[in-house]
A and B are shown apart, each in its own frame.
Chain A
Amino acid sequence: MIRTVSLAIWLFAFWLLLSGHYTLWLVGAGIVISGGIAVIGRLTGFADEEGHPVERILGGLGYWPWLAIEMVKSSIDVARTILDPRRPIEPQLFEISVGPKTAVGAVTYANSITLTPGTVTVAVDREHDRFTIHALTKAGAEGVRSGEMDRRVVAFEKGGRT
């Protein structure tokens, strides 16, 4: 119930931001539509804790900036690898074990790995909590193996407590 209301509010905010026209007609339509989608989402199941994980916002506030910086850093690394012929590429495929236990946590971790250039989550084995990763360089692979991202995602999963 609360999740549904939350979704409706989020959607309505989204509506208002997009709209730019604040007539009775459009705002009214926004309210009806936001509520309607939230209810339908609840009924058909796409607005559950996986579809609308509103409770992770707080954790995200701590995690996302770090991720952004990581992205920039590895971007530069990959760009140099591409542009500099002297830098060898050492692509490798390997597995890691995964700390985050919830679906949202695991997905955040997998996507974070993929988002940072140089590493891609190729396969997810939830039953054994293992990812298969492909990395462009040895450094990239080491970065993942170091487990820092794992720890931070676990913290994000728990709501921001490090």
Chain B
Amino acid sequence: MTDIVATIVSGILILVGAGFFLTGAIGFIRMPDLFTRLHAASLSDTTGMALILSGLAVHAGFTVAAVKLVFLILFLLFMGPATTHALAAAALAAGVKPLGAQRHAARKGPLKAAETARTIEAATAKRPQKPVSRKGKRR
């Protein structure tokens, strides 16, 4: 009985995870810029992987393999966002302009565009002590 449940659960987890992983990969193609692709990667690297690996862990039952898989999942959940964050920050610092900022600005007119640009500048500044525009919050 528990075997069957475990098999079903693991199968679902693996399949759903694989679906998310694949969807993320499709996002790699479909998303228009780096930052939007970042979200697609997120789908693959966290949700997809975590689900597949948990499915495998369920499949493995109470074995060392399951323990290792759990550690692998924890590691990925811990280091993944840190990596994504580092990548995004580095890209911004290197001058890669997020599509969102531009599009958003275009809709709100030139004034907003200037503000957005300042936001980016502030976010990418190496020493962000200087006062940052608070407009983003109020908006």
B partners with A: yes
Docked-complex contact A122 and B20, CB < 8 angstroms: no
Docked-complex contact B98 and A127, CB < 8 angstroms: no
The interface residues of chain A lying within 8 Å CB-to-CB of B10 are none
| A123 contacts B by Cβ under 8 Å | yes
Docked-complex contact A111 and B120, CB < 8 angstroms: no
Among B63, B71, B84, which residue has its beta carbon within 8 angstroms of that of A114?
B84
Minimum Cβ distance to chain B for residue A62 (Å): 17
Q: Which of the four size classes fits the interface of chain B?
A: 35 or more
Total contacts A-B at CB 8 Å? 140
The interface residues of chain A lying within 8 Å CB-to-CB of B38 are 120, 134
Minimum Cβ distance to chain B for residue A118 (Å): 5
Among B32, B36, B137, which residue has its beta carbon within 8 angstroms of that of A96?
B137
Given A93-B100, A114-B81, A115-B77, residue A123 in contact with residue B123 (CB < 8 A) = yes
Given A82-B23, A82-B30, A122-B88, residue A93 in contact with residue B39 (CB < 8 A) = no
- Classify the secondary structure of A's interface with B: mixed
Q: Interface residues, chain A, CB within 8 Å of chain B?
A: 14, 17-20, 71-72, 75, 78-79, 82-83, 89-97, 110-112, 114-115, 117-123, 125, 127-128, 130, 132, 134-136
Q: Interface residues, chain B, CB within 8 Å of chain A?
A: 19-20, 23-24, 26-27, 30-33, 35-36, 38-40, 42-43, 46-47, 63-64, 67-68, 71, 77-78, 80-82, 84-85, 88-89, 92, 98-101, 103-104, 116, 119-120, 122-124, 128-129, 132-134, 136-137, 139
